[in-house]
Structures are given as structure tokens and as C-alpha cells.
Amino acid sequence: MRLAIDLSKKSIEEGGGPFGAVIVKDGEIVAAAANRVTLHNDPTAHAEVMAIREACQKLNTFDLSGCELYASCEPCPMCLSAMYWAHIDHFYYANDKNDAAKIGFDDAFIYEELDKPQEKRNMPRVQMLRDEALKAFKRWEEKTDKTEY
């Protein structure tokens, strides 16, 4: 956890956001990353996502079962989702979402949006070309040598 916190402090000095994350497997550090949203011009470059990407590359897998994640702050909805998709076994955090909200990193609007019916959400959505897109799903369904994830 101290490494995650140190990464969050270093990130500030480098022009990034105040967040760090470390992934551990079998007691060994597999990945350590800081927030790179502003440095990479990438809104998905949160510390947890960056650490997941690094760990997957190092371990040559998309499945991080058996890994734990240490984050300097409670993960946002995107990072938490990524952690579930990566099959992280357990996570620990230091600052919580209320601490983050106090310094301008408030994710409450995302949780509120998810609670609203689709037609009342702030981001308009329009479904189109479903029949055409379903062809890819049909091909996936029929594929016998696919890698499930």
C-alpha cells in the first residue's frame, strides 16, 4: 500500500492525478502504476487500469485470478469494473471516495446515472444496425476454437 501511495505522490509531481496502484501475485509485485490521464490524454488511464494493463502484459494473460490490487484511493466505477473483468481476487484501498470527492474527483454522478432509466440519462443513446451487428455475435457463438473470457 505504501508503494501505491508513493506512486500517487510522484504522479502529482509529474503532472498526473493523485492516484497509484500496485498488483501483487503470490507476495510479489507484478505491476505498479500511477494515474496518467492528463499525461497520456487518455481518460481511461487511471492508476488501476494502468496497473492491470501492465500486469496482464507481464503475466501474458487477461485473467488476473490470484492477484490482489492495492490502490491509494477507492476505485472509481470504471476501475472497479476493470478489476472485475480482470478477475482480481481482492483489493485494498487507502483514501475513500468521499476523500476523492472533496478534492474534485467525485463519481457520484455516474452512480446516479446508472440508477436512472435509460431514457432519462444525460448521454443520449440510439441503437442502430442491430441486425447487421448480430452477425458477428452469431459467428462468435458458432466458433469452436474461441478463447472464453
Return the active site residues: 48
Q: Provide CB contacts within 8 A for 11, sequence distance 6+.
A: 17, 18, 19, 20, 34, 35, 36, 47
CA angle 20, 86, 70 (to 5 degrees): 30
CB atoms within 10 A of CB 94: 16
- 39 is written with which cell numbers? 499525461
d(CA 22, CA 24): 7
